[in-house]
Structure 1
Amino acid sequence: MTTETLVVLIAVAVVILGGGLAYLIAKPRRELPPPDVMDELTEREIEHPELREVDLDEVEELEAGVLEEEPAAPAAPTLERPETPQGRLARLRSRLSRSQTSLGRGLLSLLGGGDLTEDQWEEIEDTLLAADVGVGPTTELVTNLRARLAAEGVKDPERAKAVLRDELLGLVGPSLDRTMHTTGDDNLPGVVLVVGVNGTGKTTTVGRLARVLVAEDRSVLLGAADTFRAAAADQLETWGARVGVPTVRSHEGADPASVGFETVKQGIADGVDVVLVDTAGRLHTKSGLMDELGKVKRVIEKQAPVTEVLLVIDATTGQNGLTQARVFGEVVDVTGIVLTKLDGTAKGGIVIAVQRELGVPVKYVGLGEGPDDLAPFDPADFVDALLEA
């Protein structure tokens, strides 16, 4: 190799090395944190492996759209806005008139014919008894009707209908206090205990009541004290979630009194307006279960007074519902009745009979399967529906 060639190679090498050094000097460097910060990061990364140094190249690729972004979290479900009680009354009245007309039409067809024979009066009695009005109320109604129609000489069908309406309304009890007591004293929440036998629709009723209260802008807390069936707590939780109402529950087989106690305790802590406590269905003939129900009420009242005890009765059970009402009334001091499935029977007289038996008013009626098919009971609307032509 000649001297000139060696000089040329050395010159080229110097140029290459100089250019590389210049590039390294010019390239921006990621500055490392001070040693104490590095030690802290190392310790945190040891304790929390999910932590790591941010990769700037990865950030640049993300900004350039090379990497896919994480999918967005699903949107929170939209809460339902329940129908107000006033809005549902007209709809329920229409349903009631369609399902209950056999009683009203049967009576009107007899009374609208002028003077009645003894056989016709007996037929009126049979119609009332078949509608579960009960022996006592039936005798009272027939006696009053005979006296008024005879005294006024009523022969016009429309006037006979007006007299029948007055007498039926008197039996239903328009003066009874049907107020739902959902306000506690001394800033405590109102506490509503819902009871009844198996299969009457208690859990559904509690869910629907929650919707009624939410529609009235009341804050509500649900208590799943039916601990015999896990499905009951799941069902109640679903009802509450639809309108943004939380549910207190425990494991299957837990002490229902304890669940009731904890529910009211949380309701007080959260400052809610109303606590609704669902209880397990129990046969009124089982004294042990009925005693347990009494215990639930006593334990709850260590936190706050129970302001309302609602007995749920299936209207299709007829006279058997009266026996249920009597026994439950002895155990937990029932203050109001909810009649469910009233659209599935022509025995509207159960309203009159159960009020007479227990001495407390029907406060709500259920007509249909929809979430808002529960409404405050109105005596005049009920009677008008019975007599709807």
Structure 2
Amino acid sequence: MTDKKPSFFKRLFGGDVAPTPPVPPVVPAAPEAPAPVPPVPPGPPEATPAYIEAVEEATHAAQVGAPPAAPAAVPAPAEPAEPKGWFARLASGLKRSSDQLTGSITAVFTKRKLDAATLEELEDVLIQADLGIETATAITDTLRRDRFDRDVSGEDVRAVLAAEVEKVLGPVAQPLEISGTQKPFIILMIGVNGSGKTTTIGKLAQKYAAEGKSVMLAAGDTFRAAAIEQLQIWGDRTGATVVSRPAGADASGLAFDAVTQARAEGRDVLIIDTAGRLQNRDELMNELEKIIRVIKKVDPTAPHATLLTLDATTGQNALKQVEIFGKRAGVTGLVMTKLDGTARGGILVAIARQFGLPVHFIGVGEGVGDLEAFTAADFAQAIAGRD
């Protein structure tokens, strides 16, 4: 006689359990069609754990023939927030930069008179915020001249900070003027990998299309199929024609074709995307120079604007990018992106002081409305944490 096979519970846990009394057989009733799985009502924007659990329980109950439990109440979608004005979006985007900077300033100037040691501490704080040595020195010199050996509050320092930042940024805050005499007005977008070139192109295309301009886009980042597809999506969204070639095609040849087609069609604006490239890769910078030479074969005055997109999260490395791209590609203006993702927004001040290049646009988010023309006063007030 063979031993009785151990129970599943015993085999699973290795222990003994009290035997369960046998359940008398139940005569099954006439089979009924299984209860339908209750349809999932239109869910909230985010499915909460409670909601998911309720749906799973209802589904299980329907499968075993038990009456389904009432699903948990689904919260109504939140009312859309009132659209923020640009300064509110800018202040929100720069919050990480301003919080770190103003928090450090407040810590330095808590119930202290302005002395040499305090000024030295402040200078260190400003340099660490990527504002640059020259700007940090200018701010501390102003305080030393006007407030030395007097009580100084964090608000006093923030006011001086905002004034000095605005003084540096004022001359470079220049809008990008689309000249009607140059048709098409050709914009070449350049920058390192991941700096936001393609997204910026899409936002600019939408902006110019809304102004009634006829826009053409050229998918010159032929290294990445995803970049070509992304630009085509922006073209569909904005009504812009997109000139593209299969991934791996010659970028300079595509640029030549795009300029030729844009001129033939009488387009107002042509924006040419390029592949991201590190400024220290000489062969890639040579290719960029070739693209510019080819464009000039069709229109010797082009490109009419060469915009370098800078990722604010790169901090001090952005200074080297401006230097090298400026020498190799003739940068005419800057677009600073991703200011909402970093506490290093002060780097824009250091760039402006060192190079003096026009800053045309800044971006503080992914939305179309999160790229706006650069305004020195708004930026200065926002980074200083002032209304």
TM-score scaled by length of structure 1: 0.71
Moved more, 357-366 or 254-263: 357-366
CA displacement, residues 8-38 of structure 1 (integer Å, 9 cap, x when unaligned):
xxxxxxxxxxxxxxxxxxxxxxxxxxxxxxx
Gapped runs of 5+ residues in structure 2? Answer: 1-82
1:369/1:116 Cα in 2 relative to 1: closer, same or farther (>3 Å)?
same
Asked whether the 8 Å contact 1:340–1:366 carries over to 2, the reply is yes
Instruction: Tell me whether 1:220 sits opposite 2:215 in the alignment.
Output: yes
Identity %: 40
Cross-structure match for 1:175: 171
How many angstroms does 1:317 deviate by?
Answer: 0.7
RMSD, aligned α-carbons: 2.3
Task: State whether residues 215 and 267 of structure 2, in contact with CA within 8 Å, keep that contact through their aligned partners in structure 1.
Answer: yes
CA distance in 2, matches of 1:230, 1:281: 13
3-state SS of the aligned residue for 2:298? coil
The amino acid across from 1:93 in the alignment is: L
Q: Is the 8 A contact 1:366 1:373 kept in 2?
A: yes
1:310 paired residue number: 307
1:372 aligns with 2:373: no
Amino acid at match of 2:381: D
| Aligned match of 2:146 | 148
Q: TM-score, normalised by structure 2?
A: 0.72
1:250 CA drift (Å): 1.1
Structure 1: any 5+ residue segments left out of the alignment? 1-85
Counterpart in the other structure of 2:70:
none
User: Using the alignment, how far apart are the partners of 1:91 and 1:214 within structure 2?
Assistant: 25
Contact 2:190–2:274 (Cα < 8 Å) also in 1:
yes
How many pairs align?
A: 301
More helix by share: 1
Instruction: Encode CA deviations 1:321-353: one digit per residue, 9 max, x unaligned.
Output: 111111100011111111111111111211111
How far apart, in 1, do the equivalents of 2:377 and 2:173 lie? 14
Contact 2:217–2:235, Cα closer than 8 Å, also in 1 = yes
Once the two structures are TM-superposed, the CA of residue 245 in structure 1 deviates from its matched residue by 1.0
Correspondent of 1:251 among 239, 246, 266: 246
- Is the contact made by 1:183 and 1:273 (CA closer than 8 Å) also made in structure 2? no
Q: Max radius of gyration: which structure?
A: 1
Q: 375-384 vs 142-151, which deviates more?
A: 142-151
Cα distance per residue 1:204-244 (max 9 Å; x no partner): 11111111212222221101111111221111110111111
Question: Offset of 1:369 from its aligned partner?
Answer: 2.1
Alpha-carbon shift at residue 111 of structure 1 (Å) = 5.0
- Secondary structure of 2:271 counterpart: strand
Q: Distance in 2 between matches of 1:262 and 1:307?
A: 17
Select the residue among 280, 283, 303 that pairs with 2:275.
280
Corresponding residue for residue 26 of structure 2: none
Distance 1:159 1:130, change over 3 A: closer
